[in-house]
Structure 1
Amino acid sequence: MKINWGTSIVLAFVGFISFILYFVITMNVDKAYDHELVTEDYYGVELAYQNDIDRLNNAKTLKENISYRKSPEGLVVYFPKDLDYKNITGKVMLYRPSSKKLDFETPINLEGSELLISDKRLVDGRWDLRIEWTYQKEDYLFKEEIHL
């Protein structure tokens, strides 16, 4: 049986459309490709962005900024040693861009200049670390993309 040009073009279009539909359906149904927004109130967060810029600039004026490292127990966050840790308040937020269910935040309760975030809550992969903290009525912000 010989296939003419018209039939070949129709078969090519049907094959291409089937190929595209397969990927559209797969991306909508498969949970592995489910990516959510990082925050619910996206526009409200963007309007308050100038406050974040001011807090980031305050953090740049410090002699030593926040640092962190991965340990077997979890993520250890180090606050500046020249500050009195008893006067540091705030919260640590960890956002997982690929899954909102893994996001969490914890208050800063220091018994020294470091804070341990337990490894039980941290899944390997990319996290957005955001630390909002206050010292002597001055607000600071530390944010960084980390990979565990």
Structure 2
Amino acid sequence: MKINWGTSIVLVFIAFISFILYFVIRMNTEKKYEHDLVVKDYYKQELAFQKEIDAEENSKSLNTNITVKKTDKGLVISFPKDKNYTKISGNIYLYRPSNENLDFKIPISLSESEFVIKGENMIEGRWNITIDWKYDNTPYMYKKSLTY
């Protein structure tokens, strides 16, 4: 049986489309290729977005803002020296974009103006840190992406 060039082009297109569809279906159905959402309660967090914007603006108006440094001890978070550290409360959120199982939250309890997150709690790679804190009932928020 002789196949002309038009038929062979159509067969090549069908084979290529089948090849691509096979990988698309495989990536969407296998558990090892699971894709995580950024956050599970996305819409709930979207409603609180204006409060977040206000807290970030409060943070930008400070004389000195929070600083985050990687040291031998781990991740050192320094709060402003002009604030009484005993009146600071809030949470530190560490979010790992590549794996939601590594995300964690730490309540802020200070015995000095610096807070240390030990290095054994952090795996090398990209982290998003969000520090949501209050001082004298004024909300502040600090956000930064860092590579540990």
Q: State TM-score, norm by structure 2.
A: 0.89
1:37/1:97 contact within 8 Å kept: no
Match of 1:117 in 2: 117
The aligned length equals 147
In structure 2, distance between residues paired with 1:61 and 1:9? 65
Return the offset for 1:14.
2.8
Q: Deviations over 1:100-143 (max 9, x none)?
A: 11110000111111111122221111111110001111110001
Return the offset for 1:2.
5.5
Match of 2:143 in 1: 143
In structure 2, distance between residues paired with 1:94 and 1:140? 17
Partner-residue secondary structure (3-state), 2:20: helix
Q: State TM-score, norm by structure 1.
A: 0.89
In structure 2, distance between residues paired with 1:30 and 1:16? 25
Match of 2:39 in 1: 39
Please, which runs of 5 or more residues in structure 1 have no aligned partner? none
Please, which runs of 5 or more residues in structure 2 have no aligned partner? none
Return the offset for 1:11.
2.5
In structure 1, distance between residues paired with 2:25 and 2:123? 28
In structure 1, distance between residues paired with 2:72 and 2:23? 40
Runs of 4 or more, structure 1, over 2 Å off, are 25-31
In structure 2, distance between residues paired with 1:27 and 1:140? 41
User: Percent of counterpart pairs with the same letter?
Assistant: 52
| Mapped pair 1:72 → 2:67 | no
